Chain A
Amino acid sequence: MTPLSAILVRDMRIAVRVGGGALIGVLFFLVVVTLTPFALGPDLALLKRIGPAILWLAALLASLLALDRLFAADHEDGSLDLLLTGRAQLELVVAAKGVAHWLTTGLPLIVAAPLIGLLLNLDAPAEAALVLTFLVGTPALTFIGLIGAALAVTLRRGGLLLAVLVLPLTVPVLIFGVAAANAAVLGPAPFGAPFTILCALTLASLVVGPFAAAAALRQEME
């Protein structure tokens, strides 16, 4: 196994075992979305109108949940020292950890989204569009989150700082994710334009995230 696939497999294994936190995110997502109809009442038209926004907000918060442990756990047990001095490029190591994190926390959200969309009165084409925006948008949330996770690595209560640091950076993803989903649900604005920008944001974060996070880790270990 190459060093990078070894990291991918290890992180996914840890995430799905007891205390790993892979399912916490998707459970949180389900609870938040389920609570919304109770709070708003059975107004089907209203639920349909704000459904994509609720789902996107819940996904954003859920994707932050397990993120603070991403590097902090490795820092506490000394693994990070070895990852930093290893022969594998730190940027690629960080990216591999990001991919493992997305596979264990982002992908379950995408699987759960159509099911939970029923609670918000979304029909089949709307759900398909929503799943598509999730599929494209959630990697951006994870890879932007990598930067915050790397910056908060040496702090005891890093989770709170992480949310404050990362949430403002995710605003563009939220705007265009919800815009694309809304276009598919409500019309008449076109789906393509916001969706293309969402794709661009994700591609940019896939490049910038690992480099920024690796730079932050290098600085912090001094």
Chain B
Amino acid sequence: MMRLSATDLACRRGGREVFAGVGFSVTAGEALLISGRNGSGKSSLLRMVVGLLRAAAGRIVLQGGDPELTVGEQAHYLGHQDALKPSLSVGENLRFWADFLGAAAPDVAAPLAAAGLDALADLPAAYLSAGQRRRLSIARLIAVKRPIWLLDEPASTLDAAGQSRLTELMRTHISEGGLILAAAHGTIGLDGASELRLGQGEMGP
């Protein structure tokens, strides 16, 4: 059973303490919503989990994963930026990430359809709107199977249809035994997700 937990994490940015004493625990089939005001360290916490930021204190442990791989190598990280190249087409962008992240079958048609972008596969990504760019980076999560999803405000630029599609994808991921850490201001539409409020240091029900 996969279980991602952290104890006593502290984050320092530019000499200022952002948070300290933060802990959480998520098991397979669960989601954790990370909330908090602006600057409370939601993005920093996700970057720590994926391995892009060193924790000033504390540790992050993954049990039941592949011992040969780091947490970041078993996770999808969906940051603020969409990691798309404007001069490549929608299909080429997705195919690159599928190849780089190691998709078993690099078939980009199905993930594009799941993200609602199948009609735009040949369009250069430069012409996409902010919401369409976000949909394309979400398609990456479908194209390559990874057990852990780290989502940084995934719904921020999505329209209502896109948000419900994303919620559906997250439900499917959880029901298949995946685990999700999502930073967001509002709810993410998942029932039974526990919540970690940064800036207060306690874990809600």
Contacts and interface: CB of A to CB of B under 8 A. Distances in A.
B79 A78 contact: yes
Contacts of A88: 100
Given A78-B80, A81-B77, A14 B85 contact: yes
Given A77-B81, A87-B73, A82 B97 contact: yes
Interface stretch (B22-30, B47-55, B108-116, B161-169): B47-55
Contacts, number: 77
Interface in A43-101: 76-79, 81-88
A162 B197 CA distance: 42
Nearest to A222: B54
Contacts of A77: 81-85
B87 interface: yes
Given A19-B87, A85-B73, A78 B81 contact: yes
Interface residues of A, number: 28
B83 A79 contact: yes
Given A1-B99, A3-B102, A13 B92 contact: yes
Interface string B69-94: 11011010101111111011000100
Given A82-B77, A85-B72, A6 B100 contact: yes
A13 B88 contact: yes
B43 to A, nearest CB: 11
Contacts of A20: 87
Interface of A: 1-3, 5-7, 9-10, 13-14, 17-20, 76-79, 81-88, 221-222
Interface of B: 47, 50-54, 69-70, 72-73, 75, 77, 79-85, 87-88, 92, 96-97, 99-102, 106
Please list the 9 inter-chain residue pairs (A to B) with the smallest Cβ-Cβ separation, ordered nearest first.
Answer: A78-B81, A6-B99, A85-B72, A17-B87, A78-B83, A1-B99, A79-B83, A3-B100, A10-B96
